[in-house]
Amino acid sequence: LAPLGSHALIPKAELHLHIEGTLEPELAFELAARNGITLPYADTEALRTAYLFADLQSFLDLYYALMAVLITEDDFEALADAYLARAAAQGVRHAEIFFDPQAHTARGVALGTVVEGLSRALARSQERHGVTTKLIMCFLRDQSAESAMETLEAAKPYLDRIVGVGLDSAEVGNPASKFREVYEAAGELGLRKVAHAGEEGDPGYVWEALDVLGVERVDHGLRSLEDPELVARLVRDRIPLTLCPMSNVRLRTIDVLEDHPLVAMMDAGLVCTVNSDDPAYFGGYAGDNFHAVGEALALDHERLRELARNSFVASFLDGSAEEEEL
């Protein structure tokens, strides 16, 4: 990657980041060795050659497989601490971090191990990296609503550490409406609500996230421009979208970054933010994504500042101090 210019390092919040998607090949091999696990790749180079994805599902298959190396609290702590160091170096001042409880409990790793391990890194993050954090637990939409409800129940001891719920994994064929009751229950527990929608799915998936789940932020929403009524709704209610441009190219949702609808979306009045999604797999962290769209779409300083400002406005931070800093 080219060196990051000052625009890429502008202070920003990262609002769409899967912690499991920050597992770099080097750390994957280190944790595999530590835990006595043999990965089906000779070395980090061989693993990186597997990062040529055809679509979301082909990425998810590798993403879930590599999680096998994450076993202990120490592993989750190391994962999050490595991410926070990289994020800080790219201008991230606040990170709202997704994790996938069911991807770990399904392999016999307890929810408490995941939350306690991540918490250790997050608790030191402000002091060590200058990054404030929040945690968002995601339900896997290709699993059952019952499994999601059990996960919410299991998370009750940890809700002091969890700000909200999200919905991720394979979108098409797994509409948000399946999770109506789970989101209702999450709302009653005081949790904030977001969901992936309109990544590969059509605008109908975004409508369901809004109308059935009552989300206050949409993750991706990339295909929203296809439906003018949806755009009007998102603009009226100032629902932020957490776009992930490098992810969209790597998962072949768009061919090249030059085709990304970011500018058209901003011009339509949508509250857009730029994020990294799964940076170890998609070739770049938050600053890299700012840099890449800045170059590909010839964004001027004002646009980049607006994206950075939006990231704090769209965050779950209470104060406006971070906004005023910009």
Residues in touch with ligand ES4 (CB under 6 A) = 18, 21, 56, 63, 168-169, 196, 199, 247, 277-278
Tell me the C-alpha distance between 152 and 190, whole Å.
12
Q: Is 16 annotated as a binding residue?
A: yes
Tell me the C-alpha distance between 303 and 301, whole Å.
6
Q: How far is the CB of 289 from Zn ion (least distance, A)?
A: 13
Distance (Å) of CA 283 to CA 170, 247, 291, 312: 21, 8, 12, 24
- The answer to the question of residue 20 lying near Zn ion (CB under 5 A) is no
SS3 at position 243:
strand
Contact residues for 63 (Cβ-Cβ < 8 A; gap 6+): 18, 20, 21, 278, 281
Tell me the C-alpha distance between 76 and 57, whole Å.
24
Closer to ligand ES4 at the Cβ: 117 or 198? 198
Q: How far is the CB of 17 from Zn ion (least distance, A)?
A: 8
Catalytic residues: 199
Q: Is 301 annotated as a binding residue?
A: no
Q: Is 277 annotated as a binding residue?
A: yes
Closer to ligand ES4 at the Cβ: 207 or 281? 281
Closer to ligand ES4 at the Cβ: 21 or 91? 21
The full 3-state SS of 149-204, as one line of letters, equals HHHHHHCHHHHHHCCEEEEECCCCCCCHHHHHHHHHHHHHCCCEEEEEECCCCCHH
- The answer to the question of residue 277 lying near Zn ion (CB under 5 A) is yes
Instruction: Specify whether the CB–CB gap between 153 and 117 falls below 8 A.
Output: no
Residue nearest to ligand ES4 (CB): 168
Q: Is 94 annotated as a binding residue?
A: no
Q: How far is the CB of 323 from ligand ES4 (least distance, A)?
A: 27
Q: How far is the CB of 128 from ligand ES4 (least distance, A)?
A: 25
Q: Is 18 annotated as a binding residue?
A: yes
Chain residues that interact with Zn ion, rule: CB under 5 A: 277
Binding-site residues for Zn(2+), in ranges, read 16, 18, 196, 277
